[in-house]
Structure 1
Amino acid sequence: MTAMRPTLRDPILWTGLLLSGAVLCWLSIARYDGFNAGMYDLGNMAQAIWSGARGEPLLYSRAEGFRASRLAGHVEIGYFLFAPLYALWPDPRVLLVAQAALFALGAIPVYRIAWRRIDAPEAGSQAVRPYAARCLALMYLLYPTAQTAVLFDFHADTVAAPLLLFALDALDRRALRQYVLWIALALSLKFYVAALVAGIGVVLFLWEGRRHTGALTALAGLAYGTVAFFAVRPLFAPSSAGAAGAVTTSYLAYYFGALNEIMATIPDRLLNAVVVFGPALLVGWRGWRWLLPGLPLAAAMLLSTGPGGAFDYRYHHYALVVPFIMLAVIDGAARQRSLLARRRSEAFAAAVGGRSAPGRRPGRTWQGDLGVTAGIVAIFSALLVNAPLNPLFWLGVPGYGFDRSVYGVTPRDGRLAAFVAARVPDGAPLAASTFVATHLVNREIVYLVRYPFEPRAGRLPDLLPQVQFALPDALFDWYLQLDDGYGGGIDYDRDAIAVLLRNPAFGLVDMDDGLLVFARNAAPERALMNRLMVVSDDGAPALRQFGQLDLVRATIEAIDGRRLRATFVWRLREPFKPGERYVAVSRLDGVPGARFVHLPGYAMRPVWEWRAGDAVEETFEVVVPTETSPGRYVWRTGWYDVSHPDAALTDARSRMAGTDDVPVGEVEMGNVER
């Protein structure tokens, strides 16, 4: 390692750094604003840092029904450093901005190290051309697993990665005090960073000629890891033995609870390993020593069996491997440069001595290999990262670009953000839909009505005694394209809604465009009726037909202020086929946000469970948006295919075949109370 000082007045460096940071910041915020960033993990981290800003030990709400400290799990002491920032702007978006900025700044140490190790020795006494420095900085900014980590919520792994690069840069400059500071900051963010730090020490000791520094670094990593795991974690563990064990047990079960699945997914895991390491190996293989510190973490994640394919290259854990991939490329290019320089010297000496040079075909140059590697990284990034370089980002392909489940911000998203800000009391303990909860984290208790690892809302009944409000989403509009269908979909919270409708302690009191608000001990005059019963069929002719459903009667009446009462009588002529599921959704013509899911025939007793010949009466009350103007409005009703990924949009794409949303009545609205 050298102590030469590069200049940072390079427009290419700063253009790449600022552009990358700005794009990642923009996309991260768009994902949050579009209600696509979940409680797992942005919400949990934001709630913990909010807690830290109040002087608490980074507490967050766990699915088991208690508050736990981040210090009892990953020992993320470094989150306290974000607490002052969060206190100034108590919003999860401040964390996304900080993360994107820190990642972009990581290009600076990469640039410096490459300049000193490759460009400066190549230049000799001539002016240094920062070719390698530029290539490596751009390679870092475009590296697929780095970008996907930044775009996946907020995590200590992603934040720690640039700190490790600053530490390695300080070491390269022999600025040992700065090296210690950066290493300490990186260690503070997650206890298993200690393994990476110990790995740095091993490389320094065995191959970098820094035996004393290497030994101290390795010992520091091992010592911190030991203290963090065996002293700090137990110190902040929940008071009950069962709760303390749950933190560790659930973590291990989450990531390694289904090891029997590994054999069936080996091809996928190998492909992900190629994505993590492959783009850099043309040059990086020569610097294999620097890959070693990151290998244990990468191997653990590639063997992980966490939900959703936690071994996938898009997960945040791989961010910590990227610094070592960059060092491997730098070291590999430096070794290749030295090898070529030695061969040139041998050829020159042979020519001066009148001897023939050893017969070698002209080899590849380090400049060429480094340029090709940078190109490979850019191609991988363009193909695998959901960002503007990817052509699919701009083509409207489901799951890419401004799709509503990725970076798209719809009018409904804006409505929901305003609604929860205005209608949910500050600090009140609550349970909410997974993407809504992320917008309500600045409080002590935030549970989910259904957790991502649950097939149904199994935990909700046990959590409800602790909360004052519950906010399930009856028009859950997030979905994820999968090989065998999709995840999410309109009925994601249906079971939670059923639990709440059956719970006598909670009443439905408010709603906006499908988002429901249940309150504990709601006053009778506030609670909205939802009732379903089988009635005698008087043989009345159908007013409208929707497939095998007859609409026999429909009445809509204004009760008071924002409140309406609707009664529908349906006749099921023949049963639905197995797997067929439909939901009735009504709306007021011309009133944004006035979409009403027929909850009795959807959550209390779903229509696909009705018997042929049944006449079913559902009565339900709704409230219209506060901005509704006085006037006469048409009430329209349609039936939608629950299994369709666009069902939450309630348009022609998911409408029951051969039907339309039809007018079934009119209602006169007076002045709406605000």
Structure 2
Amino acid sequence: MHDLTGSASPQIHPFRNQTHFRKGPSWFWGAAACVFGVYACVSVRLHQRLQTSGWDLGIFEQAVRSYAHLRLPVSELKGPGFQLLGDHFSPVLATLAPFYRLWPSPLTLLITQAVLFAIALVPLARWAECVLGRRVAVVVTAGYAASWGIAQAVGFDFHEVCFAVPLLAFSLTALGGGRLGAAVAWALPLILVKEDLGLTVGVIGGLVAWKGARRLGLVTAVVGLLGTVLEVLVIIPAFSPAGSYTYWNKLPGAGSGSPSGAVHLLYQATIGMITPDVKVMTLLALLAPTAFLAVRSPLMLVATPTLAWRFFSDNPQYWGTGFQYSAVLMPVVFAAFIDALSRWPATHVRYALTVSGMATVLMFFQAPLYQLVQPATWHTDAHVVTAHSILDKIPNGVTVAATNHLAPQLADRATVTLFGHPDSRPNPKYIVADVSTWDWPFATSTAVVQQLNDALGHGYQTIAYQDGIVLLHRT
């Protein structure tokens, strides 16, 4: 095999022999630092411009704040005293507690997420350069850095899956390079990130066994599968007010023992996995940056658990390319891309890189990272300035009901609930709302006004009202 720059490279087949990475300083960490800067700028500016939300940034900040004060994770935004371990199993969030204790701010979470996403490109670029040369490594770096799955996650608050992205990148590059023990060591912590990722660990274990380390692979697979089973059937129900796993109702025909429910379940498990068309479009968008070569690698199997639960669900939000749901797929597809290219004829690699580069450029303009080159991103309008000035009137340590996009501005210094949510704590000391635009969970902006008027009739007084931002105080 020859380096595309013209120099010779060793005959390495990443799924057959062990890869030994070259030692010494490299450009990978410099690239990661630049990518971190981009991700951090996008996240921070979105927060400064009131474009983050209580659901989900505020919820995660309340969880980390609980850990920082040596308590189990609780989120008032989801309900009074709501135990988050009864919602999702993500104890990995506790690792942020020391940093949050030093800097209690939502920016701690957003910047940490940017760091974790950026670090994931290091093992991918390093492996690509080792087996295919510098040019391929640069294309892989650009493709991952601008990938829509990461960009959408960066553009939508903070989520626990940011921990899974570098773990998967290090695990799959180790697996592809034949370092099976390292692959397992990087994969096992995924069990602590989210309950469904135990299935992903199970697939990685299966690949390790297929690679030749049968006992290690089978033990890893069993640990991963048992981890998911215990988390879903035992741990989460133990903390859940309902006493069960909340997200069973996202499955088709949940709670229905009727023949029609069984038929719908069978349909969803077959034809429903590729219909409606949005699911096919998601698959095309996922594979396009790899010139569709990722499907030639066994590493692509690691994406199947995530794709399966998303496409099997009745929730349309899981099917598309929005939100954070595809972030964990990005290191998988690019690791599979590198593995597939190592098997591809050298004369064809250039064409694959061209297609990959074109797909990356086209998708960049559809993703949140494009905001960095738009003037509006760097302009703070009068409405935002007014909102911050009114929020400053709220004292620290009080209870506040806030509309969704104002809530994360207060979660670091007050007990915040979501204004208008049926499970919110009643009679907070302050209510702050933006009536200039619609905000979830209200159906319309008129509904916000109606609820504010109701509060005025039940002991609240108006402290401030400017440019659509309303602040009420309970006397």
TM-score, normalised via structure 2 length:
0.83
CA contact (8 A) 2:146 2:369 kept: no
Q: Give, in angstroms, the shift of residue 498 of structure 1.
A: 2.9
Change (3 A) 1:180 1:296: closer
Equivalent position to 1:203, from 203, 207, 215: 207
- Residue in 2 aligned with 1:35? 50
1:470 aligns with 2:447: no
- Residue in 1 aligned with 2:459? 505
- Residue in 1 aligned with 2:342? 334
CA distance in 1, matches of 2:36, 2:180: 29
- Residue in 2 aligned with 1:384? 366
Find the structure with the greater CA-based Rg: 1
- Residue in 2 aligned with 1:155? 159
Q: Which residue identity is paired with 1:269?
A: K
CA distance in 1, matches of 2:427, 2:453: 19
Equivalent position to 1:272, from 256, 263, 282: 282
CA distance in 1, matches of 2:46, 2:122: 27
- Deviation per residue, 1:45-84 (Å, 9 max, x gap): 1111111101111111254x33222222221100000111
| Secondary structure in 2 matching 1:435 | coil
Change (3 A) 1:151 1:48: same
Q: Which residue identity is paired with 1:410?
A: D
Indicate the structure with greater helix content: 2
CA distance in 1, matches of 2:24, 2:355: 23
In structure 2, stretches of 5+ residues that fail to align are: 1-16, 255-260
CA distance in 2, matches of 1:285, 1:180: 22
| Secondary structure in 2 matching 1:508 | strand
- Residue in 1 aligned with 2:354? 372
| Secondary structure in 1 matching 2:321 | coil
Aligned pairs for 1:98-177 (under 5 A) are 98-116=112-130, 118-119=131-132, 129-171=133-175
1:424 aligns with 2:394: yes
1:449 aligns with 2:457: no
Change (3 A) 1:378 1:463: closer
- Residue in 2 aligned with 1:4? 20
Q: Give, in angstroms, the shift of residue 179 of structure 1.
A: 4.5
Among the aligned pairs, what percent are the same residue? Answer: 22
| Secondary structure in 2 matching 1:100 | helix
Aligned pairs for 1:305-320 (under 5 A) are 305-306=314-315, 309-320=317-328
1:73 aligns with 2:73: no
Change (3 A) 1:305 1:16: farther
CA contact (8 A) 1:135 1:370 kept: no
CA distance in 2, matches of 1:2, 1:130: 20
CA distance in 2, matches of 1:280, 1:44: 35
- Residue in 1 aligned with 2:191? 187
CA contact (8 A) 2:291 2:353 kept: no
Equivalent position to 2:233, from 224, 230, 233: 230
- Residue in 2 aligned with 1:556? none
CA distance in 2, matches of 1:158, 1:256: 28
1:415 aligns with 2:423: no
Q: For this pair of structures, how many residues does the alignment match?
A: 444
CA distance in 1, matches of 2:294, 2:387: 48
- Residue in 2 aligned with 1:617? none
CA distance in 2, matches of 1:136, 1:441: 38
Q: Give, in angstroms, the shift of residue 196 of structure 1.
A: 0.7
Equivalent position to 2:72, from 30, 39, 57: 57
CA contact (8 A) 1:144 1:380 kept: no
Q: Give, in angstroms, the shift of residue 381 of structure 1.
A: 2.6
Q: Give, in angstroms, the shift of residue 279 of structure 1.
A: 2.6
CA contact (8 A) 1:49 1:83 kept: yes
CA distance in 1, matches of 2:19, 2:278: 43
| Secondary structure in 2 matching 1:430 | strand
| Secondary structure in 2 matching 1:447 | strand
- Residue in 2 aligned with 1:17? 32
Change (3 A) 1:156 1:7: same
CA distance in 2, matches of 1:202, 1:376: 34
CA distance in 2, matches of 1:106, 1:296: 20
Q: Which residue identity is paired with 1:221?
A: G
Q: Which residue identity is paired with 1:212?
A: R
| Secondary structure in 1 matching 2:20 | coil
| Secondary structure in 2 matching 1:149 | helix
- Deviation per residue, 1:287-334 (Å, 9 max, x gap): 1x2111212312332344447x34221221211112221121112111
CA contact (8 A) 1:62 1:447 kept: yes
CA distance in 2, matches of 1:315, 1:507: 37
CA distance in 2, matches of 1:170, 1:296: 20
Change (3 A) 1:434 1:492: farther
Change (3 A) 1:28 1:384: same
CA distance in 2, matches of 1:446, 1:233: 24
Q: Select the structure with the greater relative contact order (CA < 8 A; seq sep ≥ 6).
A: 2
CA distance in 2, matches of 1:82, 1:291: 30
- Deviation per residue, 1:26-45 (Å, 9 max, x gap): 01111111111111111111
Q: Give, in angstroms, the shift of residue 21 of structure 1.
A: 1.8
Change (3 A) 1:366 1:16: farther
Report the RMSD for the aligned CA atoms in angstroms.
3.2
CA distance in 2, matches of 1:101, 1:148: 16
CA distance in 2, matches of 1:256, 1:37: 31
CA contact (8 A) 2:252 2:314 kept: yes
Change (3 A) 1:8 1:317: farther
Equivalent position to 1:96, from 110, 115, 120: 110
| Secondary structure in 2 matching 1:112 | helix
Change (3 A) 1:52 1:333: same
- Deviation per residue, 1:596-632 (Å, 9 max, x gap): xxxxxxxxxxxxxxxxxxxxxxxxxxxxxxxxxxxxx
- Residue in 1 aligned with 2:99? 85
CA distance in 2, matches of 1:16, 1:213: 34
In structure 1, stretches of 5+ residues that fail to align are: 120-128, 341-364, 395-400, 452-458, 480-486, 523-674
- Residue in 1 aligned with 2:406? 436
- Deviation per residue, 1:398-451 (Å, 9 max, x gap): xxx455xx775323313322431x311222122111111111113674221135
| Secondary structure in 1 matching 2:369 | coil
CA distance in 2, matches of 1:30, 1:425: 24
- Residue in 2 aligned with 1:494? 449
| Secondary structure in 2 matching 1:317 | coil
CA distance in 2, matches of 1:81, 1:500: 40
CA contact (8 A) 1:475 1:513 kept: yes
- Residue in 1 aligned with 2:9? none
Q: Give, in angstroms, the shift of residue 92 of structure 1.
A: 0.7
TM-score, normalised via structure 1 length:
0.60
CA distance in 2, matches of 1:98, 1:492: 36
